[in-house]
Amino acid sequence: MKAVRIHQFGGPEVLTYEDISDPRPRKDQVLVQVKACSLNHLDVWVRKGLPGVKLPHILGSDIAGEIAEIGEYVTGFNVGQRVLGAPVHFCGHCLKCLAGLQNQCQEFTVLGNAVDGGNCELIAVPAANIIPIPDSLDFNQAASVPLVFVTAWHMLVGLAGVRPGQAVLVLGASSGVGIAAIQIAKLFHCRVITTAGDETKLEKAKALGADHGINHYKQKISDEVRKITNKAGVDIVVEHVGAATWDESVRSLKTAGTLVTCGATTGANVSIDLRHLFARQLRLLGSYMGTMGELHEVLGHVFAGRLKPVVDRTFPLSEIRAAHEYLEKSQMFGKVVVNP
Ligand SMILES: [Zn+2]
């Protein structure tokens, strides 16, 4: 089959489109003909080099496609069925997995991180990862959902415990997590404030339901949040930008507010004034992916049309280098998808 592998860490030039042998599904696995694989910032981190990544390596977390072959022990699926893949790897038999907390499993990793991913024509995955998709979603849309929507759902619903009517600040409206978080917060009838670097992106965010937009290049985020919330601040901040916005995110919280973060795109080192942390009774939460239960829960809303994936642009898998360059320029609103 055709696949994109990296044989060394580095820039987009290390992405190599090449022929490798077809994977064989184990008896408990399903072989999927990949039709679409969406990119995430994780792809860039892994390409540049993360611990635990063995070379050569296949990137790509979010896949959608058709079932090509079904292992002997697997029931309930048909060859040719349209499916997406849960972008997670877990042992399935430890206490955490059995309790439904797969993202706390010691073996937990994201597809395409410490295990090979979906930048290829065929991938063998455990049956537990296979989820049928409705005809209303095309493959590019389906591949744009799992990682960012389960991440945003776990942050807002699983960890921050969002309640109807709260004020929520979502950083980075144009990112996959931002697009998912805006819609999930609106599903809970929240007042949503979001940020982006230009007016076009802010208009698109408002079309998704955001009530207020802040241009983070022209305006000071916490000042605008104070104005919008009549000095109160927000109940929840959805962070993933990191160093560039951290101080503003903390300042935007109301007393006893919750900041939940899942990323550090602009840098990982930030500081916190402990006097603010305790005196303002803030909650700072770290989030990583989500559970399989949460994935199924959020997919229910996507399949029903209440939450919508946003595809920005597609590239042939053979042009993966251009896709990475495009992703790193951050000009997109929504997901970048490659098609094998
Ligand atoms: Zn486990």
Q: What string of DSSP letters covers 265-323?
A: TT-S-----HHHHHHTT-EEEE--S--HHHHHHHHHHHHTTSS---EEEEEEGGGHHHH
Q: From ligand 1's centre to the CA of 92, what distance in Å?
A: 5
CA of 102 to the centre of ligand 1 (A): 6
Site of tokens 């759902």: 153
Contacts of 13 (CB under 8 A, 6+ apart): 321
Q: How far apart are CA 195 and CA 221, in angstroms?
A: 8
Q: Give yes or no for a contact between 285 and 258, defined as CB atoms under 8 angstroms apart.
A: yes
Distance 26 CA to ligand 1 centre (A): 19
Q: Report the C-alpha gap between 24 and 221 in whole angstroms.
A: 51
How long a stretch of residues is the chain?
A: 340
Cβ–Cβ contacts within 10 Å for residue 279, how many?
A: 10
The overall average pLDDT reported for the chain is 97
Per the listing, tokens 């903390």 go with 250
From ligand 1's centre to the CA of 91, what distance in Å?
Answer: 4
Task: Give me the pLDDT at residue 235, please.
Answer: 98
Those residues of the chain that have pLDDT short of 50 are: none
Mark the residues whose beta carbon lies below 5 A from ion ligand 1.
90-91, 94, 97, 105
Question: Distance between CA atoms of 338 and 244, rounded to whole angstroms?
Answer: 29
Ligand 1 geometric centre to CA of 269 (Å): 30
How many angstroms separate the CA atoms of 245 and 270, rounded?
A: 10
Q: Mind listing the pLDDT tens digit for each residue in 14-70?
A: 999 999 999 999 999 999 999 999 999 999 999 999 999 999 999 999 999 999 999
Q: The pTM is what? A: 0.97
Q: Which residues pair with 194 in a beta bridge?
A: 170, 213
Degrees, nearest 5: CA angle 234-238-241: 125
Q: How far is the CA of 289 from the centre of ligand 1 (A)?
A: 15
